[in-house]
Amino acid sequence: MAALSFFAPLLTNSPSHILTFNQMGIAVVLAVSYNLLLGKAGLLSLGHAAYFGFGGFFAVHVINYFSNGDSWIVAPLIPLFGGLMGLLGAFVLGSFTTRRGGLVFAMLSFAVAELVIASSTVFGRFYGGSVDRTQLPPFLGFDFQSDTAVFYIVWTWVLIVIGLAAWFNASPVGRISEAAGQNSDRIESLGYSQRKLKHFTFCVSGFLAGIAGGLFALTYEFVTVEIISLQQSWLILQMVFIGGTGVFWGPPLGALLLTAIFSGLNGTTDNLHLYAGILFITIVLFAPSGLSGLATDIFKRLRRDKDEKLASAYIFSALSLLAIAVGLIGILEMISTLKNSNAPSVSTNLFGIMIDPRTIWPWMIFGLLIIAGGVSFTKFKAKLSS
């Protein structure tokens, strides 16, 4: 999947599309880094964006320092420096936060994130800035002025990070770290230090998050304190949970999906974060293993039972959920339109159709979609559970 993405620039000449592909690559690296922490060590971090920020901040200073000079530091190496800074931050902060697990670790990670954000008022000069990536020494004749050139840097690093994560998962250390996340007492009884294992995994995760920060600095040519915000950490958490931690490709899938949603709908609705929150709650409640885990379970059951009626039930369940989503989006968008407009007559474009929310028919149609979809989903869900 990541290798096929290299052909994406051949499909479009739009700068906005290329920038979206770059955003997707950065999101994939972030999701992979966080999945090592949550999926392997069982550590629920509420401040993972801090290590993303450390990488971005340091990358800015490296670019500025080596600009307009004869040096071997070229643009494709910048994410590596970001990764090293993320590693350093994870080593220092993880030395005490990983001493405890569960809720205590989550609260510690949240507190550390708050401290890092608050320290921006003291160390503001370190926390980002603007750069000009074209001032770095050229690499193979490229000065990386265009986003298309940066695209190949981003997705090359995506391949590297996915390869590193896969190697770590298959390595003895990765397997023992996963065991420590599942049952730390048993690991201790076998003679391993679960704290050291979790700290090591935390450092690897911080390194990969720092690489994402370096890619961010190269892509946007500026980094601000907002990239370490709690909202950014929440977005990373959403990507991983929606994609699913049980399958290796789950978090990258969640990263691609959420980035596509935010990029595609940005500017078209004021309720974007509301929809993302509803999607997250729905996934956690009804598919706790994420979309990848849900898809895996469905395919396994279809292959085992080989029942055409079962396949039809899944299809109609999906259509029922789609009807509920269309109805809910329609009602929320009409409420938003009425709230933001004082005109006697106002229309809004919903699903390619001009709709006047001051009339009763759109409300009835969208309401019926929600009711019919809910009844239908309940019916087919009962068949799937039997």
**High-pLDDT (> 70) share of the chain, %:** 93
What pLDDT, on a 0 to 100 scale, did the predictor assign at position 165? 93
* pLDDT tens, position by position, 49-77: 999 999 999 999 998 888 766 677 888 99
Band of residue 341 on the pLDDT scale cut at 50, 70, 90: low
Indicate if the pLDDT at residue 4 is higher than 60: no
The string of pLDDT tens digits covering residues 69-122 is: 667 788 899 999 999 999 999 999 999 998 887 888 899 999 999 998 888 877
Tell which wins on pLDDT, 169 or 133: 169
Tens digits of residue pLDDT in 260-302: 888 877 777 788 888 888 888 888 888 888 888 888 888 888 8
Give, in order, the Cα–Cα distances in Å from 107 to each of 6, 51, 195, 213, 245. Answer: 40, 17, 17, 24, 21
What pLDDT is stored for residue 293 in this prediction?
86
Rg of the chain over all Cα atoms, to the nearest angstrom = 23
Residue 10: C-alpha distances to residues 18, 21, 232, 364 (Å): 10, 12, 31, 45
The pair of structure tokens assigned to 166 is 């896969």
Query: Contact 208/25 with Cβ under 8 angstroms?
Result: no
Range list of H helices, 183-289: 184-189, 194-220, 230-243, 250-265, 272-286
pTM: 0.88
Contacts of 187 (CB under 8 A, 6+ apart): 176, 179, 180, 194, 197
Find the DSSP H helices in the chain: 15-35, 49-66, 78-97, 102-118, 147-170, 172-182, 184-189, 194-220, 230-243, 250-265, 272-286, 290-305, 308-339, 360-385
d(CA 63, CA 223): 12
What's the pLDDT at 344? 54
